[in-house]
Amino acid sequence: MLSHGGCTRTLRRLWTVTSIRHSFAAATIVVCVMLSTAWTLHSGLLTHYAYDLNIYRGALQYWLFDGGALYDFSTGPFSFVYPPFAAVLLSPLAFNSTGTAFIFVTEVSLCALGAATWFSIFPMAKKYSWNRLYVWALAVTLSLALTPIWITIGLGQINLILLFFVLADFTLLRANSRFAGIGIGLASAIKLTPLLFIVYLAATRRWRAMFTAIGTGMAATLIGFIILPKDSWRYFTHEIFHARNINNMLRSVNNSLTGFIARTLYEPVAPTVLWLALSIPVVIFALWRARKAYLQGADLAGFAIVGLAAALVSPITWIHHLVWVLPTVVVLVNAAMSSRGTRRWLRLSVAAGVFMLFSSSITMRYGDTPSEETLQQWRAVLLVNAYIIAMLLLVIFLPAARDNSETFLEEGNSGKQESNDPAAEVNLPISRAAIANLDFNAADGDSSDTSDLVPALPAGTVTQIPGSVTGKQSLPGKVVVDDTKGDL
């Protein structure tokens, strides 16, 4: 039991100015998140209430209750286009009403958005010692204004769930977890676009995660074959090449390279040869840039680049598929905060511009399907293809600032127990001010010799220092301070 003095001190702490300020900030953020969520759901319900969700439910009910083939069901020009494993996962939706199913999918999507946002901003918040909970809440609040995200929620789509799976692997890879790759494998079994992330794992030579992703994807696909053998065979031999949804690439909501080609030629379907001629170089360049970002310690930038490239080269990319703009904006903010002076403000302006662009519906300025005369005007071409142009520029120029002040250079580095040996080698983050207070023992080696340092070592890292750092203790070893690296 607390004494009278202990209770008094506790009450004083609770009523300090700092506590009140933090409580007010927390309450403000909670209110903002609630209002943003309400506005997002209101916007989505008004314009897109559960349209795609009803397609899922209709196809699932046709399969489960009527004994029909999964891919025979259609609602107008639209049908179920995902692999059979996705149908297995979504099958519980067939047993509920549209309202109940929509509430369930919305709740899962909001949870996935919260987790994906946390995975994205956690390294940056840790890097700059920001309050992670506040930054996360602010990021979630702002993310709900992004058009791809609120349309995903309104349609009852699953894109945020796929984003969660892939970014979960980003976090597991940073921790060198043996489970890294499972998320990408599951996402690839639900929808084919995330397969490009497996290629990214191979390009960055993370073989264990790559094979885990391949194994997980194959196991999930096998489950689909076991439960839906005929539909699985049909999907992988026919539907994957002749999807009925790909019948009008001219539409303004198509933000793939096929949309750009179709609108340029004004043909309902883009020629396959032209699509491949543009897509292959984009994929190769994106993987090269993503690998380069990874080697600089900017793995989130690598994931964002691959996600944007996958959206560009997909046969059809509707607006709600562009959820990869969320980690992209985080990367831009991180790059801005890693800079100084004018460059910082310029990069913050770019981040704000990208956020505002993808929070708008600028591509719909000329309607769902612009006329041929409209697309002969340069202004219309720029506006209708604004998302495509922006994604191409981001793939080319997205800065690659390090995710945080730590890097995992050796496999199996995480999870090691701390050694009791005072001479054990440790890696400690340390500030420039602290380094200035260190008095190195010259007899143990020249601390200015840094020729044998690993190039990818992050800024502000002390390496090969025996023991612990306390005050002005004399320590043999090497100090690395490199403020010049970390972004392109």
Model's pTM, two decimal places? 0.78
Q: How many residues does the chain have?
A: 488
CA 159 to chain centre: 11
Q: CA distances (Å), 326 to each of 122, 143, 357, 373, in order? A: 14, 7, 12, 34
| pLDDT score for 234 | 93
pLDDT digits over 304-315, tens only?
999 999 999 999
99 against 457, higher pLDDT: 99
Cβ within 8 Å of residue 112, ≥6 positions away: 160, 161, 163, 164
pLDDT of 29 strictly over 70? no
| pLDDT score for 157 | 93
3-state secondary structure (DSSP) of residue 479: strand
469 against 170, higher pLDDT: 170
pLDDT of 413 strictly over 70? no
Q: What is the layout of strands, in order, in the sheet containing 425-429?
A: 425-429, 461-466, 478-480
Sign of CA dihedral 150, 115, 292, 487: positive
pLDDT of 435 strictly over 70? no
Residue 75: phi and psi, rounded to 5, are -120, 100
| pLDDT score for 28 | 63
pLDDT digits over 249-258, tens only?
889 999 999 9
Place of tokens 């549209």: 98
Cβ within 8 Å of residue 38, ≥6 positions away: none
pLDDT of 239 strictly over 70? yes
pLDDT of 6 strictly over 70? no
Angle between helices 132-143 and 98-127 (to 10 degrees): 130
Residue spans per domain, the chain: 1-242, 245-404, 420-446+456-488
Specify burial of residue 44 (Cβ count, 10 A radius: 0-12, 13-18, 19+): buried
197 against 28, higher pLDDT: 197
pLDDT of 398 strictly over 50? yes
Place of tokens 């890294």: 180
| pLDDT score for 293 | 95
| pLDDT score for 37 | 60
- Provide the mean pLDDT of the chain: 80
pLDDT digits over 93-139, tens only?
999 888 899 999 999 999 999 999 999 999 999 999 898 888 998 89
